[in-house]
Structure 1
């Protein structure tokens, strides 16, 4: 076995982190894509389920946005990342179990808000931990490993919705058990010392011959990375929460298990693609090239989804879109760690970057309500394809220094 360089993390440590990050995805993917929409549909009926879900997702996204920045900053100040992760794991797990007892719109929305706060108490310090630990030359590999997280989340959704396996409340218990099993190994066996891994610039450094790029240059790179991710994430957010409802428009017999199976297969297929693309970017020192290709493929897939009239066509177009966006988001998350301006505020800055994940959830419900009743899902997908092309333009000329 090849030993890592002194300032690199071992493969074991990277795998432990990737497993923990997968636990974070398992915590929210089955719930937000399948279990919550299903619970809302049962309580509200098909007629107003979209409206209920839109309001709930909006409130949850606001809580997630604020919570990620807050707990990232608090973990910066305390210096104990994994302690916050442990606390967030316990709080979010307890609140998730309470969801089964929600029988009204108000109860659900309150629980989702508090659950999002607890979940981001775990996720924000976990993301900052990677920023401190993983050197730039391992960022592509890290991104590839992170791509397995959405697939694990989708697979968890397929497992818990297996017919006859578990009732509604028992599904949430299964989710929590899987999350705990993924996160606890990092808490027990993860690296305890901080290597000099971040590429971020201390607060007193700026541009200069001996500091390439400096803090101002990194800030400019970060803004373009932020906008590109936002454009792609808006498209991804639409399918994340409305995939089940879109497929039911095409085929009213579509059920939650078939939707979860499609989602999990697509996300799992994206993982090896991202791993290969990330490794290629590390070896060739071209970390942005895979992002450009993925954004372009996503725009083409969205146009195909807009034209889909059968389940077969819809599955194929969504598979292309899901693989492209999952690869993009995983690799983008890792490469973002290279452009953070301040090494002493990694958690806070990642919280601001996390707005690209949560702001789309604030926008998409209202955009969906405005467009779908008049233009259907095809009109929505055509607009999202244009946004993905904007990401291509933002990233095409961007260069990250080695």
Structure 2
């Protein structure tokens, strides 16, 4: 099984300050706040108002262009922050530009202009997000990676809650909501830039020993971690996109508000669970065991969903899947920092890992269209369960880093 040595030195362990960890987690939550309400609510509403019956087509164009821009920008700006060795400056510039462009998106008066601004926004947003992700690898020791992963679980919940906040009836006009989101992002990210003064850990900037062969050591571990995350992300993306339609296929009486409450409730519960599991992983120096367990539980839950005889069983299956996937993705983000072999290219390498977040958006629609019309959602969930099970096997059978 893949495992890792603790970064704690002999004798008394050195710890990153709790203040920095909390400010950093707040900043990551701000990053989620920047894109979750916009991409899931505000952008679709804006496109529907401008495109009418053609809104699905234009949303598809926007999603594709945005995913490509985000993928390239995350790699590119991560690499640039590696070269300059200054994450903070890139985070600040990205924050300013992405916030300004988010406000500017409300002024777009044509669909081509809207998509053009969307691409620029994705570029500037990832100018902030990529160095922010790499910064944790520079300053958070391995024996705190589990705690870091637990704190990162706040980000999805914050994104979902911000979407609920800005869409409260009467709170803000549609165009004003963009500015409201931008303000929330600045409030979350700026404190770590201004007040985050992390302790330095020189050992985190030292390259890991080179493996004897290309199929052993860090390279093999990184490949397994990358593929495992991609497989779980495909399943998570499918449920994110089709949860409401699946629930309606089981019980036509269920409403969008009930589905939204279910989705948000699972994200909130995932926060304390991930914190607990992350602390356990730190104390026992078993960073990958929770990932294996979470991937396995996700696979089992998907099978329950595929065979669910009614709504109650379906909801239980989804709750277990959503909780397991949430724990997996948050802890995986932190433990990835543990296995990357080259600190000098940490930002670029994390950008490559970020492809596991954007590629599912391109893979999942084709998979769904191939499965659901022929086999229904049950067939789709069986395939997704197999993918999650493969992710579990990849992690269980991997070698322990030296």
**TM-score by shorter chain over 0.5:** yes
Would the aligned equivalents of 2:77 and 2:131 in 1 still touch at CA under 8 Å?
yes
Aligned equivalent of 1:151: 157
Would the aligned equivalents of 1:157 and 1:264 in 2 still touch at CA under 8 Å?
no
Aligned equivalent of 2:59: 53
> What is the correspondence of 1:389-400 to structure 2 with a 5 Å cutoff?
389-400=389-400
Deviation for aligned residue 1:345: 0.8
> What is the correspondence of 1:218-229 to structure 2 with a 5 Å cutoff?
218-229=218-229
Aligned equivalent of 1:273: 273
Q: Which one of the candidate residues 116, 124, 127 is aligned to 2:122?
A: 116
Secondary structure of the corresponding residue to residue 59 of structure 1: helix
Aligned equivalent of 2:43: 36
Deviation for aligned residue 1:235: 1.1
Deviations 1:85-118 (A, max 9, x none): 0111111112222333446543343233222111
Q: Which one of the candidate residues 68, 89, 102 is aligned to 1:83?
A: 89
> What is the correspondence of 1:135-174 to structure 2 with a 5 Å cutoff?
135-174=141-180
Aligned equivalent of 1:254: 255
> What is the correspondence of 1:263-302 to structure 2 with a 5 Å cutoff?
263-302=263-302
Query: Structure 1's 173 and 67: CA in aligned 2 closer, same or farther, altered over 3 A?
Result: same
Aligned equivalent of 2:80: 74
Would the aligned equivalents of 1:68 and 1:123 in 2 still touch at CA under 8 Å?
yes
Aligned equivalent of 1:20: 27
Would the aligned equivalents of 2:211 and 2:218 in 1 still touch at CA under 8 Å?
no
Would the aligned equivalents of 1:62 and 1:362 in 2 still touch at CA under 8 Å?
no
Would the aligned equivalents of 2:217 and 2:401 in 1 still touch at CA under 8 Å?
no
Provide the rounded CA distance (Å) in 2 between the counterparts of 1:159 and 1:167. Answer: 13
Aligned equivalent of 2:196: 190
Provide the rounded CA distance (Å) in 1 between the counterparts of 2:139 and 2:340. Answer: 14
Secondary structure of the corresponding residue to residue 202 of structure 2: coil
Provide the rounded CA distance (Å) in 2 between the counterparts of 1:308 and 1:200. Answer: 50
C-alpha RMSD of matched pairs (Å): 2.9
Runs of 5+ consecutive residues of structure 1 not aligned to the other structure: none
Secondary structure of the corresponding residue to residue 204 of structure 2: coil
Query: Structure 1's 321 and 6: CA in aligned 2 closer, same or farther, altered over 3 A?
Result: closer
Aligned equivalent of 1:352: 352
Query: Structure 1's 115 and 21: CA in aligned 2 closer, same or farther, altered over 3 A?
Result: same
Would the aligned equivalents of 2:221 and 2:401 in 1 still touch at CA under 8 Å?
no
Aligned equivalent of 2:7: none
Deviation for aligned residue 1:43: 4.5
Query: Structure 1's 136 and 399: CA in aligned 2 closer, same or farther, altered over 3 A?
Result: farther
Would the aligned equivalents of 1:144 and 1:272 in 2 still touch at CA under 8 Å?
yes
Query: Structure 1's 106 and 300: CA in aligned 2 closer, same or farther, altered over 3 A?
Result: farther
Query: Structure 1's 39 and 308: CA in aligned 2 closer, same or farther, altered over 3 A?
Result: farther
TM-score by length of 2: 0.87
Would the aligned equivalents of 1:40 and 1:52 in 2 still touch at CA under 8 Å?
yes
Q: Which region of structure 1 is more displaced relative to structure 2, 126-135 or 193-202? A: 193-202
The answer to whether structure 1 residue 206 and structure 2 residue 207 are counterparts is: no
Would the aligned equivalents of 1:200 and 1:338 in 2 still touch at CA under 8 Å?
no
Deviation for aligned residue 1:23: 0.6
Query: Structure 1's 324 and 104: CA in aligned 2 closer, same or farther, altered over 3 A?
Result: farther
Provide the rounded CA distance (Å) in 2 between the counterparts of 1:311 and 1:79. Answer: 52
Runs of 5+ consecutive residues of structure 2 not aligned to the other structure: 1-11
Q: Which region of structure 1 is more displaced relative to structure 2, 18-27 or 86-95? A: 86-95
Provide the rounded CA distance (Å) in 2 between the counterparts of 1:164 and 1:281. Answer: 45
Provide the rounded CA distance (Å) in 2 between the counterparts of 1:368 and 1:53. Answer: 17
Query: Structure 1's 44 and 373: CA in aligned 2 closer, same or farther, altered over 3 A?
Result: farther
Would the aligned equivalents of 1:17 and 1:186 in 2 still touch at CA under 8 Å?
yes
Deviation for aligned residue 1:25: 0.9
Deviation for aligned residue 1:397: 2.4
Deviations 1:240-287 (A, max 9, x none): 3444555566648734x5554433222111011111111111111111
Would the aligned equivalents of 2:214 and 2:220 in 1 still touch at CA under 8 Å?
no
